[in-house]
């Protein structure tokens, strides 16, 4: 039966996380098993009774339209091009024919949905909106939907962190929207379904339903997703691998399950290709090893090359012999790599090595060149609607900082700039200047909240989407403001926190020149030559500190506890990050005070010593001064607690574990598992496939026991332990 409902295919995405695949083709033309994603979709629409569709495109639109033409798999194709990004709802409004309900589908995902049944469900329920949902392994990357037993939607959760994931039912981006709802969307304005339309409809108690699809669904957003989709499609077709007729594969080569070798590709003798994609015209020399890797068209690769998991080599690259490419590395099209090279980080068209930005830059593939940093600054300012931001830089002349500031100012964000600033000074200045966010530019770029430091996933996602789509606001150019006054206030505050007299010879080991300079300046009046020697070392995360004494070493957890004792002695409550020692809570309770563990979604300021190494050192030394004892003596009074960390690999089962097995262990934002002699703090890791267990116990044996108990409770039999 031919369905008269209008179909709108959203196909404007830039696909930055798929680069270099999408460097010169639009994301809907990415091939899976040799077929472009959007052509798979049009074939599915035809099978479901749809004979016409409107494609809303933007990025490299000419290439998409040239490939699809006027008909694709029996479906007539019309085109609507976004001159400026209008958001999902805005672009559907522009494409609407003015009369019918609309089936909205994504042109850059692979699915097996029954769109005919979905349309019938929508009409049967007289729904205003029907959202197609699907259970996913990693809920952090999707908007989540909660519904009652009848399928009526009762809530949304947009790209949460795992500590907020109480469901694994994701919004797939496929909808049926009634014409009455589409009429409400303003023309030629940027409007998004997930952020603007759906929350408002929920408030108005409109008839919104969830239609759960159990078929396949893959949002081809990055290299791992592409490889996983390829493997699943092969499995569904009862094929272990796919080697096109025009490909040449040596008899001695091993082609593992999940691999695809396209037409005119060549695989040399004694190669091992495991779960990888080798595109048309690619040539691989002898004795190469590929693990879940992607080679694009016309790559030439010498003998003995090793490609790590989820690495990707761009079109027309020439890779010499005996080259090693680390996991996750992406090499831009047209790059030439000399023999014997070890490629540890991404390589751009210019040959620059890419660096990650915070928790999301690795997925974006942001490179620290001038144009990318300008665009990044503009994306941050636009996504977070920043009127002003504090920027601290390690030195006094940073091209990266200059480019970021230029991008921020171009979208109306005023910049408070501090030269020769440490991480801690930058955050302090942000608080004093009342800027909600700070940027710190050292060896890398770090965006943080001035209060809780860590960004929540929704904030990261906004910036990621803004960077990918380039949806930047137009406004007046904002000023650059010298923030040295805030730097002076920081120095005064730090000196105030340092005790007037020490019994300890204190030194600092740090890779930050600015931090070393601030330490010497602030502590110079109290440093002594005699007494106990204490060397404080700042870790690479710029927050954690360790201490080496004459006779013992103090862990970060022990230093945090001593700093808490300093605050408690002054009748001050403290606010620590989620991973802070739980023994601090016990100490606070005995003093009639409180410790607040601040999560990424809280709007609460961390205590200064929780993020600033120098403030932590000052608080620890202040406690020893108050007591009139040495640091060793103060450490000896601490409870004998073993701090242990263990990583437990859970694979694709993490959402179910969080929503079911760990549900009863939630204490506020924390997940805590206790026994008589140990306490484990459980935190999902960024990978989405592991749990981090942070354990405080009376002995290592007790720590091991509670870890094993928890693993048994979860039904998992693997894990790695890192003792501290």
- CATH code assigned at 323: 2.160.10.10
**pLDDT at 367 > cutoff 70:** no
Same domain, 59 and 79: yes
Q: What is the CATH number of the domain that holds 480?
A: 3.40.120.10
* Closest to 291 in 3D by CA, of 328, 330, 266: 328
- Please state, in angstroms and rounded to a whole number, the distance separating the CA atoms of residues 519 and 323: 44
Same domain, 235 and 327: yes
Same domain, 445 and 525: no
* Closest to 416 in 3D by CA, of 441, 444, 438, 394: 438
Mean pLDDT of the chain: 81
What predicted TM-score, i.e. pTM, was given to this entire model? 0.58
Residue 687 domain-assigned (yes or no): yes
Same domain, 74 and 26: yes
Residue 591 is predicted with a pLDDT of 86
Residue 14's pLDDT band (boundaries 50, 70, 90)?
confident
Place of tokens 């809530």: 155
Residue 2's pLDDT band (boundaries 50, 70, 90)?
low
* pLDDT top residue among 667 and 333: 333
- Please state, in angstroms and rounded to a whole number, the distance separating the CA atoms of residues 617 and 507: 10
Mean pLDDT is highest, among 87-101, 294-308, 530-544, for 294-308
Last residue of a domain, one of 636, 669, 691: 636
**pLDDT at 576 > cutoff 70:** yes
Residue 348 domain-assigned (yes or no): no
Residues 404, 373: contact at Cβ < 8 Å?
yes
Residue 652 is predicted with a pLDDT of 60
Express as a percent the part of the chain with pLDDT over 70.
86
Same domain, 603 and 670: no
The 3-state secondary structure of 241-266 reads CEECCCCEECCCCEECCCCEECCCCE
Last residue of a domain, one of 283, 310, 343: 343
Residue 5 is predicted with a pLDDT of 84
Place of tokens 């606010």: 575
Same domain, 366 and 474: yes
* Closest to 607 in 3D by CA, of 638, 648, 564: 564
Residue 653's pLDDT band (boundaries 50, 70, 90)?
low
* pLDDT top residue among 83 and 254: 254
- Please state, in angstroms and rounded to a whole number, the distance separating the CA atoms of residues 685 and 650: 11
Mean pLDDT is highest, among 134-138, 337-341, 438-442, for 438-442
- Please state, in angstroms and rounded to a whole number, the distance separating the CA atoms of residues 355 and 334: 20
* pLDDT top residue among 415 and 191: 415
Place of tokens 């998004």: 192
Same domain, 210 and 162: yes
**Lowest mean pLDDT, pick from 192-201, 326-335, 341-350, 388-397:** 341-350
Residue 473 domain-assigned (yes or no): yes
Residue 437 is predicted with a pLDDT of 93
Distance linking the first and last C-alpha atoms of the chain: 66
Same domain, 100 and 248: no
Please list, in sequence order, all residues whose beta carbon lies within 8 angstroms of the beta carbon of residue 270, skipping any fewer than 6 positions away: 250, 252, 253, 286, 287
Residue 352 domain-assigned (yes or no): no
Residue 692 domain-assigned (yes or no): yes
* Structure tokens given for 7: 């179909």
**pLDDT at 164 > cutoff 50:** no
**pLDDT at 468 > cutoff 70:** no
3-state secondary structure of 145: strand
Residue 350 domain-assigned (yes or no): no
User: How many structural domains does the chain have?
Assistant: 5
Same domain, 177 and 161: yes
Residue 554 is predicted with a pLDDT of 83
Determine the average pLDDT of the residues in 548-576.
88
**Lowest mean pLDDT, pick from 332-346, 617-631, 690-704:** 690-704
Question: For residue 7, how many other CB atoms are within 10 A of its CB?
Answer: 25
Q: What is the DSSP string of 278-329?
A: E-TT-EE-TT-EEES-EE-TT-EE-TT-EE-TT-EE-TT-EE-TT-EE-TT-
Phi, psi of 144 (to 5 degrees): -100, 150
**pLDDT at 719 > cutoff 60:** no
Same domain, 306 and 169: no
Residue 438's pLDDT band (boundaries 50, 70, 90)?
very high
- Please state, in angstroms and rounded to a whole number, the distance separating the CA atoms of residues 608 and 583: 19
**pLDDT at 74 > cutoff 80:** yes
- Beta strands at 129-135 and 169-177: parallel, antiparallel or unpaired: antiparallel
Residue 565 is predicted with a pLDDT of 92
3-state secondary structure of 66: helix
Last residue of a domain, one of 217, 252, 279: 217
Same domain, 338 and 232: yes
Residue 18 domain-assigned (yes or no): yes
Determine the average pLDDT of the residues in 223-229.
88
Express as a percent the part of the chain with pLDDT over 90.
13
Residue 259 is predicted with a pLDDT of 92
* pLDDT top residue among 491 and 656: 491
Distances 422 to 499, 519, 685 between C-alpha atoms, Å: 21, 10, 27
Write down how long the chain is.
Answer: 724
Residue 519 domain-assigned (yes or no): yes
> What is the domain range of residue 515?
498-636
Same domain, 49 and 185: yes
């Amino acid at each position: 039966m031919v369905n008269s409902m209008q179909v709108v295919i959203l196909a404007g995405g830039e696909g930055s996380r798929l680069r270099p695949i999408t460097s010169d083709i639009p994301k809907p033309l990415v091939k899976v098993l040799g077929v472009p994603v959007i052509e798979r979709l049009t074939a599915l629409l035809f099978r479901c009774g749809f004979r016409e569709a409107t494609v809303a495109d933007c990025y490299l639109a000419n290439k998409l339209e040239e490939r699809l033409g006027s008909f694709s798999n029996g479906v007539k194709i019309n085109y609507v091009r976004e001159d400026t990004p209008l958001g999902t709802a805005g672009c559907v409004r522009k494409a609407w024919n003015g009369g019918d309900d609309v089936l909205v589908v994504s042109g850059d995902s692979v699915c097996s949905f029954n769109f005919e049944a979905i349309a019938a469900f929508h009409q049967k329920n007289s729904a205003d909106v029907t959202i197609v949902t699907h259970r996913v392994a990693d809920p952090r990357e999707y908007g989540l939907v909660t519904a009652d037993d009848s399928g009526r939607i009762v809530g949304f959760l947009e790209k949460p962190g795992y500590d907020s994931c109480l469901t694994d039912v994701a919004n797939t981006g496929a909808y049926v929207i009634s014409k009455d709802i589409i009429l409400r969307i303003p023309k030629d304005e940027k409007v998004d379904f997930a952020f603007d339309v759906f929350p408002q409809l929920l408030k108005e108690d409109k008839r919104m339903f969830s239609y759960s699809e159990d078929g396949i669904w893959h949002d081809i957003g990055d290299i791992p997703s592409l490889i996983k989709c390829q493997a699943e499609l092969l499995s569904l077709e009862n094929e272990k691998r796919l080697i096109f007729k025009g490909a040449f594969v040596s008899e001695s080569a091993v082609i593992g399950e999940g691999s695809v070798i396209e037409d005119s590709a060549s695989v040399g003798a004694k190669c091992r290709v495991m779960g990888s994609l080798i595109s048309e015209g690619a040539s691989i020399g002898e004795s190469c090893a590929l693990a879940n890797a992607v080679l694009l068209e016309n790559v030439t690769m010498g003998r003995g090359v090793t490609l790590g998991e989820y690495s990707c080599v761009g079109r027309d690259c020439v890779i010499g012999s005996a080259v090693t490419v680390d996991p996750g590395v992406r090499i831009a099209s047209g790059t030439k790599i000399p023999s014997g090279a070890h490629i540890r980080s991404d390589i751009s068209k210019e040959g620059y090595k890419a660096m990650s930005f915070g928790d999301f830059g690795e997925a974006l593939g942001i490179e620290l060149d001038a144009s990318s940093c300008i665009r990044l600054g503009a994306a941050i300012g636009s996504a977070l609607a920043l009127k002003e931001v504090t920027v601290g830089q390690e030195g006094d002349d940073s091209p990266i900082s200059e480019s970021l500031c230029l991008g921020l100012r171009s979208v109306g964000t005023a910049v408070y700039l501090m030269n020769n600033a440490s991480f801690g000074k930058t955050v302090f200045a942000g608080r004093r200047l009342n800027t909600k966010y700070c940027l710190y530019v050292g060896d890398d770029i770090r965006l943080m909240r001035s209060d809780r430091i860590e960004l929540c996933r929704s904030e990261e996602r906004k910036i990621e989407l803004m960077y990918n789509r380039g949806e930047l606001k137009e406004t007046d150019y904002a000023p650059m403001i010298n923030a040295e006054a805030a730097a002076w206030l920081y120095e005064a505050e730090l000196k105030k926190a340092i005790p007037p007299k020490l019994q300890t010879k204190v030194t600092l080991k740090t890779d930050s020149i600015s931090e070393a300079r601030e330490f010497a300046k602030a502590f110079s009046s109290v440093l002594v030559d005699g007494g106990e020697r204490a060397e404080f070392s700042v870790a690479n995360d710029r927050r954690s500190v360790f201490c080496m004494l004459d006779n013992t070493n103090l862990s970060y957890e022990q230093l945090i506890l001593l700093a808490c004792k300093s605050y408690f002695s002054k009748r001050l409550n403290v606010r620590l990050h989620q991973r802070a020692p739980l023994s601090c809570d016990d100490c606070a309770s005995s003093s009639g005070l409180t410790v607040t563990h601040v999560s990424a979604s809280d709007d609460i300021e961390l205590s200064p010593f929780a993020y600033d190494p120098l403030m932590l050192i000052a608080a620890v030394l202040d406690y020893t001064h108050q007591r009139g004892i040495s640091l060793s003596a103060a450490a000896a009074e601490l409870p004998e607690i073993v701090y242990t960390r263990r990583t437990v690999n859970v694979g694709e089962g993490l959402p179910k574990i969080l929503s079911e097995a760990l549900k009863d262990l939630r204490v506020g934002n924390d997940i805590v598992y206790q026994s008589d002699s140990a306490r484990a703090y459980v935190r999902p890791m960024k990978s989405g496939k592991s749990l981090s267990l942070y354990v405080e116990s009376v002995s290592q044996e007790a720590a091991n026991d509670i870890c094993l108990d928890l693993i048994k409770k979860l039904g998992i039999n693997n894990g790695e332990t890192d003792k501290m």
